[in-house]
Amino acid sequence: MCDLPRKKLCTERPPNLLPSLSGSIERQRENAGTASFGNSKNSCNVLGHLENLFTSAIKSAYPSVTNVLAQLQVSKHADYQCNDAMALAKTLKKNPREVGDNILKNVAPSPLISKLELSGPGFINITLSQNFMKQQVTNIVLNGVTPPPTTPLRVVVDFSSPNIAKEMHVGHLRSTIIGDSISRLMEFLGHDVLRLNHLGDWGTQFGMLIAHLEDRFPDFASKPPPISDLQTFYKESKKRFDEDEEFKKRAYQAVVKLQAHEPVHIKGWQEICEISKREFSKVYERLQVKIVDRGESFYQSRMEDVVKILNGGGMLEEDEGRKVMFAEGADIPLTIVKSDGGFTYDTSDMACIKHRIVEEKADWLVYVTDAGQAQHFKSLFACAKRAGIYDAKKTRIDHVTFGVVLGEDRKKFKTRSGDTVRLVDLLDEGLQRSEEKLREKERDKVLTPEEFTKAKNAVAYGCIKYADLSHDRSRDYVFSFDRMLDFRGNTAAYLLYALTRIRSIARTACVSREEIVTEAQKQPIELEHEKEWKLARALLKLPDVLVKITEDLCLHTLCEYLFEVSAVFTEFYDNCYCVEKNSEGKIVKINLNRLMLCEATAMVMEKCFAILGIDTVEKM
């Protein structure tokens, strides 16, 4: 396995260069180097590359300064600026302008930079090379949007993870959307991603479900039970469990038999899991989410092993009949063995983290759940560390949390009757609303029925996903079809439409993608107009945006970026003719260079949509 690039793996934002120069985290932006130039298949993360250059410059200018990490800002006077001289001068008790000058002199020559200038009290203004930028934008047209250079890692993303026999709720929807998008990003960057569905498919609730199954469908072992609504079935069995002592006893016995792997009980359990999974897969199919089922039951024998290890290591303590585990950094202990000898959610996660690190050989674990589970995971990671299973220097772990989904009344998202909203119903309503919206805009009059259906689906699922991903995931968010289907503002409806309009420019001019590519092969894109240059800079920011997301796993930055690209494109389009028409509407001139820019913009936007898991359409 590769040597672990810790620099990219730290979960916390790296500390700023100063004031403390003695910190221990030293992050280099790996590979953000010249390997990405010319015709390499990787794109260049410009900012990362520049920060590396300046970090090296500071190091050679002041070798005594360790743990340096230059951070650059977007500049009003140039493209970027480096302000690190100020803070550094303070620490070194030197003149900041002198320090700035010294750093500047130590910046290695780079094809990215056309000019470096010292200004004011010690700022260094950086102007990017036009030639370099032109070549990079042209590369997008020629080679597609390629990822920045990355060291491939084995990443396990644990997401969605609903519970068998219970309805998949909006919390699971958030986990599904966010986890899928994180996986798509990692896959694009070239990581080896294992997407896991940690289904709640084991535990005491199966006792009552099996006991109820025996009564309702006595021949379930030979004939699959025709349960159409597992949720109601669950409620019925729960009611009996709560009210009927006799039933309760049988439920407990059923659990014991299930755990002893009695064939009939295993069969009943399998039937129930199958019915549930069929329901879940309908949601995954509609959302085009790929995921591998590996529920809690998978870890049964591994739970036994891990309990032995923890017990043997003297790490478990008695607490009112339970066996619990404490660790430094765990606010609450994990319950490893219940007083009746059974295992818990904590036990399965302990066995699971070991399996993922040791057997799956993961370099990076990602868990996507609601923020309500923060304490559970904090304790889990602390205990895994204490048990010697997890070492933060070797494995990166992120608990990706998210807030609650609220209804338009700002209360927890529920149906009118107060029930949890079924996801399939929610998706159906999305489709219906999307159709209404498109009809209202009279799209049915211009699109063929096939195009209309495509647009309807893309808008419905796209809007639901985008509304979730465009909000800072740590906050609660208000679920509103009206808002997400608005054709103005930062919504999928608007952005998908903006993309179709960009795509239609070349189409109206009857210029094919092949012709645009041929043109790009002949000569790089020209960036003469100020707005062309601005658009190019925006397009080339994508690799940096993606690298930043790998640090905090906050996808709303990608949505903000997508919105920014569409806004900058509009500015360009309003100021620069791509296709000129005469008073009769006849095309008199086609600017192929600008059509190349349109093509590059569309490709960047499509890549963003792909990472967000949103389908795009040619027409809508």
> How many C-beta atoms surround the C-beta of residue 564 within 10 A?
14
Residue 178 CB, shortest distance to ligand ARG, in Å, is 13
The amino acid present at 71, given as its one-letter code, is Q
CB 357 within 8 A of CB 395: yes
Q: Side chain identity at 42, as an amino acid letter?
A: N
- Alpha-carbon separation of residue 519 from 43, 277, 590, 596 (angstroms): 21, 51, 13, 8
Residues 369-408 close enough to bind ligand ARG by CB under 6 A: 369
Please state the closest distance from residue 230 (CB atom) to ligand ARG, in A.
Answer: 15
Sheet holding 396-402, edge to edge: 292-293, 192-197, 154-158, 364-370, 396-402
Least distance between ligand ARG and beta carbon 367 (Å): 6
Contact with ligand ARG (CB under 6 A): which of 195, 198, 240, 355? Answer: 198
Exactly one of 125, 161, 276, 297 binds ligand ARG (CB under 6 A); which one?
161
Cβ closest to ligand ARG, residue 176 vs residue 369: 369
Closest CA to 87 of 102, 76, 100: 100
User: Site residues for ligand ARG, window 330-349 (CB under 6 A)?
Assistant: 349
Rounded Cα gap, residues 608 and 363, in angstroms: 25
Q: Residues 54, 88: contact at Cβ < 8 Å? A: no
In one letter, which amino acid is 266?
A: I
What are the residues facing 389 on neighbouring strands?
none
- Segment interacting with ligand ARG (CB under 6 A) among 161-169, 186-194, 262-270, 424-432: 161-169
* CB of residue 247 to ligand ARG, shortest distance in Å: 26
Q: Which positions from 477 through 516 interact with ligand ARG, judged by CB under 6 A?
A: none
Query: Rule CB under 6 A: is residue 163 a binding residue for ligand ARG?
Result: yes
Is residue 180 a contact residue for ligand ARG (CB under 6 A)? no
| Nearer CB in complex with ligand ARG: 301/582 | 301
Closest CB to ligand ARG among residues 166, 556:
166
Q: Which residue has the tokens 């765990």?
A: 330
Q: Please choose, from the candidates 80, 83, 34, 36, the residue with its C-alpha nearest in 3D space to the C-alpha of residue 58.
A: 83
Question: How many residues line the site for ligand ARG (CB under 6 A)?
Answer: 10
Q: Is 203 in the site for ligand ARG (CB under 6 A)?
A: no
Q: State which residue, 468 or 599, has the beta carbon closest to ligand ARG.
A: 468
Closest CA to 557 of 568, 569, 544: 544
Residue nearer to ligand ARG on the CB measure, 123 or 377: 377
Q: How far is the CB of 192 from ligand ARG (least distance, A)?
A: 20
CB contact at 8 A, 81 and 72: yes
Nearer to ligand ARG, 158 or 435 (CB): 158
* Candidates 159-167, 390-398, 489-497, 530-538; binding stretch for ligand ARG (CB under 6 A): 159-167
Kindly state whether residue 524 participates in binding ligand ARG, applying the rule CB under 6 A: no
Say whether the peptide bond before residue 19 is cis (omega within 30 degrees of 0): yes
> Applying CB under 6 A, which of residues 158, 167, 519, 532 lies at the interface with ligand ARG?
158
| Nearest distance, CB of residue 303 and ligand ARG, angstroms | 13
Q: Pick from 145, 137, 160, 236: which is nearest to 572 by CA? A: 137
Considering the complex, state which of residue 169 and residue 534 has its C-beta at the smaller distance from ligand ARG.
Answer: 169
Vertex 559 angle, CA 80 and 154, to 5°: 90
Q: Which residue's CB is nearer to ligand ARG, number 104 or number 177?
A: 177
Please, what is the minimum distance in Å from the beta carbon of residue 57 to ligand ARG? Answer: 44
Q: Choose, by CB under 6 A, the member of 352, 535, 602, 612 that binds ligand ARG.
A: 352
Distance CA 95, CA 82 (A): 16
Kindly state the DSSP code that residue 8 receives in the 8-state scheme: H
Give the number of other Cβ atoms within 10 Å of residue 373's Cβ: 15
Under the criterion CB under 6 A, does residue 200 sit at the interface with ligand ARG?
yes
Residues that bind ligand ARG (CB under 6 A): 158, 161-163, 198, 200, 349, 352, 367, 369
